[in-house]
């Protein structure tokens, strides 16, 4: 039996199951989710006819285009931005070519490169977790087909300036490479590089409804880019990629901008509270441009992670990467959810 050798060579580790039983501060979701009454009002629109009918992403795409100030032809909906990354690498990643990303970064860039026979070129952070943009620029040459920049980056919550990003875009443009600007954490960090899609024809922006919009379970992502790029990106798309329930919730959220404003304000307030409590107790932390923060615990991060899980039914994330091994990463949310986290964290961080 034939097995695609790239698939055979790619090891996968899927997220842990059974997370509903825990308080979830490990995957940059909203720990509490959307307001109950809003979810109820949307659920009421789910009828047997609605469920029996194939999804139509057109109306959502039109609304979303208006929401971000582009044309519908600049939009493509995807089954989470996870799928957007796959589509873009399939369409614009020339087999055998290099794909440049910062490292550490969101794992799915590396994994999709491995699955698709692309050569992932990780450009590392410095030991003090600062990043030298010039190193990305230098990694871009004629054998590079795609460059990805995450702003803010995940896991390290640093941000790039518009000048730094434009320098990367120009260099990529000179060698005919696509630049993916992954803005999964937009709205927590309000700077966007969306204007670059009107200035350069080798740039796309990725957005997701999993983070600030708080519907990770629905799977809704969006690629925003110049028409010339979108015309090609759409060719590999599964016919019914995004499901109707995701589109329904996505539309309802766009129709209720006060919900988004409230989500942004609550997370900001919660993060400020978390930081002030940590500072008061003398903890070091870093990042914070997205809905997550790295805290340096007094005890071993792995032990603390296990203790929080076993004794407090709470999930946080630790990393094997040497640059991150002394931290735990914690998703941020409202003051209430941060208070709940801190009580467990302070109780568990004993040494
Ligand atoms: C930077 C970044 N991009 C993309 C994603 C994928 O998000 P989703 O597939 O839920 O839209 C994530 C998820 O954590 C992320 O951190």
Residue boundaries of the structural domains of the chain: 19-33+260-348, 36-257
Closest protein CA for atom 7 of ligand 1: 81
For a ligand 1 pocket test, name from 154, 216, 332 the mutation site with the most ligand atoms within 8 angstroms of its C-beta.
154
Does residue 351 have a pLDDT over 80? no
What is the reported pLDDT for 291? 97
Gap from CA of 190 to ligand 1 centroid (Å): 17
Calpha distance 148→170 (Å, rounded): 13
Does residue 67 have a pLDDT over 80? yes
Task: Determine if ligand 1 sits within 6 Å of the CB of residue 208.
Answer: yes
Residue 232 tokens read as 């090609």
For a ligand 1 pocket test, name from 208, 211, 214, 331 the mutation site with the most ligand atoms within 8 angstroms of its C-beta.
208
Residue 268 tokens read as 């900001």
Task: Determine if ligand 1 sits within 6 Å of the CB of residue 221.
Answer: yes
Chain-wide mean pLDDT for the chain?
96
Per-residue pLDDT tens digits for 172-205: 999 999 999 999 999 999 999 999 999 999 999 9
At 155, the pLDDT band (50, 70, 90 cuts) reads confident
Residues near 207 by beta carbon (within 8 Å), at least 6 away in sequence: 68, 81, 183, 184, 186, 221, 222, 224
For ligand 1, what atom is nearest to the CA of residue 27?
A: 14
Main-chain dihedrals φ then ψ at residue 119, nearest 5 degrees: -95, 105
Residue 40 tokens read as 């109820």
> Residue by residue, what is the 3-state secondary structure of the chain?
CCCCHHHHCCCCCCCCCCHHHCEECCCCCCCCCCCHHHHHHHHCCCCHHHHHCCCCCHHHHHHHHHHHCCCHHHEEEECHHHHHHHHHHHHHCCCCCEEEEEECCCHHHHHHHHHHCCEEEEEECCCCCCCCHHHHHHHCCCCEEEEEEECCCCCCCCCCCHHHHHHHHHHHHHCCCEEEEECCCECCECCCCCCHHHHCCCEEEEEECCCCCCCCCCCCEEEECCHHHHHHHHHHCCCCCCCHHHHHHHHHHHHCHHHHHHHHHHHHHHHHHHHHHHHHCCCEEEECCCCEEEEECCCCHHHHHHHHHHHHCEECEECCCCCCCCCEEEECCCHHHHHHHHHHHHHHCCC
Does residue 140 have a pLDDT over 80? yes
The reply to whether CATH 3.90.1150.10 applies to domain 19-33+260-348 is yes
Residues near 310 by beta carbon (within 8 Å), at least 6 away in sequence: none
Percent of the chain with pLDDT over 70: 100
Please answer whether residues 211 and 221 qualify as being in contact, where contact means their C-beta atoms are separated by less than 8 angstroms. no
What is the reported pLDDT for 157? 84
User: Helix axis angle, 58-68 relative to 244-255, nearest 10°?
Assistant: 30
Per-residue pLDDT tens digits for 211-259: 999 999 999 999 999 999 999 999 999 999 999 999 999 999 999 999 9
What is the reported pLDDT for 277? 97
For the entire predicted model, the pTM comes to: 0.96
Gap from CA of 82 to ligand 1 centroid (Å): 6
Residue 313 tokens read as 């039914």
Calpha distance 258→168 (Å, rounded): 35
Distances (CA, A) of 268 to 100, 124, 263, 298: 32, 29, 9, 25
Calpha distance 147→129 (Å, rounded): 20
Architecture of domain 36-257: 3-Layer(aba) Sandwich (3.40)
Calpha distance 289→129 (Å, rounded): 14
Per-residue pLDDT tens digits for 88-133: 999 999 999 999 999 999 999 999 999 999 999 999 999 888 889 9
Gap from CA of 266 to ligand 1 centroid (Å): 21
């Amino acid at each position: 039996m034939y097995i695609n050798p790239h698939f055979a060579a790619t090891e996968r580790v899927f997220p842990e199951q059974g997370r509903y039983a825990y308080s979830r501060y490990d995957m940059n979701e909203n720990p509490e989710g959307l307001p109950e009454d809003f979810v109820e009002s949307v659920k009421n629109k789910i009828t047997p006819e609605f469920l029996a009918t194939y999804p139509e992403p057109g109306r959502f795409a039109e609304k979303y285009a208006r929401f971000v100030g582009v044309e519908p032809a600049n939009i493509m909906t995807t089954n989470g931005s996870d799928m957007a990354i796959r589509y873009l690498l399939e369409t614009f990643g020339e087999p055998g070519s290099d794909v440049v990303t910062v490292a550490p970064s969101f794992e799915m860039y590396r994994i999709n490169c491995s699955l698709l026979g692309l050569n992932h070129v990780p450009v590392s952070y410095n030991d003090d977790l600062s990043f030298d943009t010039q190193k990305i620029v230098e990694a871009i040459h004629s054998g590079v087909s795609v460059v990805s920049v995450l702003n803010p980056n995940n896991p390290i919550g640093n941000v790039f300036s518009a000048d730094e990003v434009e320098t990367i875009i120009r260099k990529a443009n000179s060698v005919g490479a696509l630049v993916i600007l992954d803005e999964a954490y937009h709205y927590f960090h309000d700077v966007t590089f969306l204007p670059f899609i009107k200035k350069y024809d080798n740039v796309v922006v990725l957005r997701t409804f999993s983070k600030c919009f708080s519907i990770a379970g629905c799977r809704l992502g969006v690629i925003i880019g110049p028409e010339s790029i979108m015309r090609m990106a759409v060719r590999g798309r599964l016919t019914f990629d995004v499901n109707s329930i995701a589109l329904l919730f996505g539309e309802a959220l766009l129709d209720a901008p006060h919900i988004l404003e409230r989500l942004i304000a609550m997370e900001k307030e919660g993060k400020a509270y978390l930081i002030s409590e940590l500072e008061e107790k003398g903890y070091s932390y870093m990042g914070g441009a997205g809905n997550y923060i790295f805290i340096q615990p007094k005890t071993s991060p792995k032990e603390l992670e296990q203790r929080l899980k076993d004794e407090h039914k709470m999930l946080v994330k630790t990393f094997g990467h040497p640059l991150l091994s002394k931290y735990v990463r914690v998703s941020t949310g409202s003051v209430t959810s941060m208070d709940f986290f801190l009580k467990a964290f302070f109780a568990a961080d004993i040494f």
